[in-house]
A and B are shown apart, each in its own frame.
Chain A
Amino acid sequence: MAPAFTLPSTTGGPVALADLLAAGPAVVMFVTDDCPTCELTLRRLAVAAAEVTVVCEAPPAAASRLAARTGFGGRMLSEPAPYETSRAFGLEAVPTTVAIAPGGDVAETVVGWDAAALSALLGIDLGAEPPARKPGCAAKSTYDAAQLAADAAVGDDDPEAMYELGWTDGLPTVAPTPERVAAMLAGRDPSASLGPVAPGMGEATLERVAACAVLAGCRPEHFAVVEAGVRAMLVPRFNLHGQAVTTQPAGQIAVVNGPVRAAAGLNAGMGVLGPGARANATIGRALRLVVALTGEGMPGRLDRSTLGQAGKVGTCIAEDEERSPWPPLHIERGLAPGTSAVTLLAGDAPLSISEHRSRTPEELAAALGWAAASLWSPNWWPIGAATLFVICPEHADTLAAGGWSKADVRRAIWDAVQRPAGELRRGEFTARVAEAADAELVPKWDAPDDILLIVAGGEAGRFSAVFGPCVGMDWSPVTLEVRCDT
């Protein structure tokens, strides 16, 4: 007797052998998803439109892909590890084709590709195109225990499966298997909620946030930063909703301070804005995936950004507090020394500012500020949004040499970048410009405190950067402590 089975179909619900036999004799063909002979056989069956039920030793997504690339349009069932059905059939190799009589007896078995034998078994002509015969591969059910356990743990690890599910930002993602998500959570309550995520208001349970962290490529030691970043994004004054649906290119920018930078392996030095450092790349990406997947803010759907920008895959920066002559961002924003923190900002792509000639703090502050004068729009003054400058170490030295504090730098940039309203009344301009007298000076920023400064980057080179802000969204930066003990 053929062993009974019930297996999931790639196109619908479960299918039982008894269901197949209710309609008469059945032909069941066992295949795997990585066997050239199985692919050859399925291609020939597709051309002949053979009536066969295929059992694929692979998860459903991989079985679906096998059907798609061979053109096989018939019934495809999925048998993931540990391949109990194949074992019950005593399989040794694939493909193995089994003809089963209505009463359940095995009438005939063909192993491998054998055009004549399969034509006879199926009662159709599979053609004379060579090869006439071809041996197949070992059935996965014959694997040893260690390999079976590895298959079960890894599951359908092909990034193609993640693309099929849509769990991606366009780059390959890591499959969020239960084991990987559990490792990310490290015993935390998976159902604990951080709140609904705009714009789709999916609830960010810790488990879903951990799934996004796995997808992004994070390691468990990154998760405390990801969690704090999500909490910060969900603070109402951050207005994630506006950022997530806007036609602007803005994404979410995370700045990390404190001891967690070293614990997470974050780069604050050379090439800090990427690429290259796993922690920076994956933490920033995890935050964006929480917005795009849990929050349903997928580009092209609820995310209506006209152009987008590469930094929207994820941007996470660590401040080089040890190299900075000034207090770090999180201390400026009210946290205690020794704490770790993440500060979330809404912003556009970074604009590099090359400035090798300034020798005084005043010259350099003016150069940095005027480089930022065209952000958003050359005539949109004041810009009405917080703007992040990343000051490289050499520039920080020049600015600090005169004894300047961060507040002095902010003030100097703000003072320097002002223009008469009459020059700004063209193209798109603000109500303040519209109402001002021609000669009245209008600043680029509403107030010096809208200018945020961090120090980061390589020791050599006089290249700072400024992130174009997200404008008109009624958002403000949010700084939250990263707690590593929870």
Chain B
Amino acid sequence: MRYVSPYDPAARTPVAAAPRHGTLAGRTVALLDISKNRGAEFLDRVELRLRERGADVERYCKPLFSRPATGELVERIAARADLAVEGLAD
């Protein structure tokens, strides 16, 4: 039996994971503060740990945690960083 699917296949296509680098040394890591309470505090500690491992760290911020990052911000991070970490806190 054929059913009419409620899904959009385009939204269900798996996105391949970015290549793993094996080491943090010399890599640029983007830390994205989503503007949730105490998120920056959390990312401060993450930044310290990453720098201990030889990573370069760049900090980014989106204005409101409940709305997605703009395409422009995502593209900027993708263009400049090898890895990205989002900080979710409360």
Contacts and interface: CB of A to CB of B under 8 A. Distances in A.
Given A241-B68, A242-B67, A177 B6 contact: no
A289 B6 contact: yes
A264 interface: no
A176 B6 contact: yes
Contact of A474 (B5, B10, B11, B66): B66
A409 to B, nearest CB: 30
Nearest to A209: B6
A292 B67 CA distance: 18
Contacts of A80: 1
A181 B4 contact: yes
Interface string A281-313: 000000001100110100000000000000000
Interface residues of B, number: 16
Contacts of B5: 176, 208, 211
Interface string B50-90: 00000000000000111110000000000000000000000
A251 to B, nearest CB: 15
Question: Which of B8, B11, B65 has the most CB atoms of chain A within a 10 A radius of its CB?
Answer: B8
A473 interface: yes
Interface residues of A, number: 40
Contact of B2 (A178, A207, A289): A178
B12 interface: yes
Contacts of A198: 68
Interface in A201-216: 201-203, 205, 207-208, 210-212, 214-215
A178 B4 contact: yes
Interface string B23-47: 0000000000000000000000000
Given A59-B1, A200-B12, 18 more contacts: A155-B1, A165-B3, A177-B3, A178-B2, A178-B3, A181-B4, A196-B11, A202-B11, A203-B11, A211-B3, A212-B6, A241-B68, A289-B6, A294-B6, A294-B7, A296-B12, A473-B66, A474-B67
Interface of B: 1-8, 10-12, 64-68
27 contacts: A80-B1, A156-B3, A161-B1, A175-B1, A176-B3, A176-B6, A178-B2, A178-B4, A181-B4, A200-B12, A201-B8, A202-B10, A202-B12, A203-B11, A205-B8, A207-B4, A208-B5, A208-B7, A208-B8, A211-B5, A212-B6, A246-B66, A294-B6, A294-B7, A296-B11, A473-B66, A474-B66
Interface of A: 59-61, 80, 155-156, 161, 165, 167, 175-178, 181, 196, 198, 200-203, 205, 207-208, 210-212, 214-215, 239, 241-242, 246, 289-290, 293-294, 296, 472-474
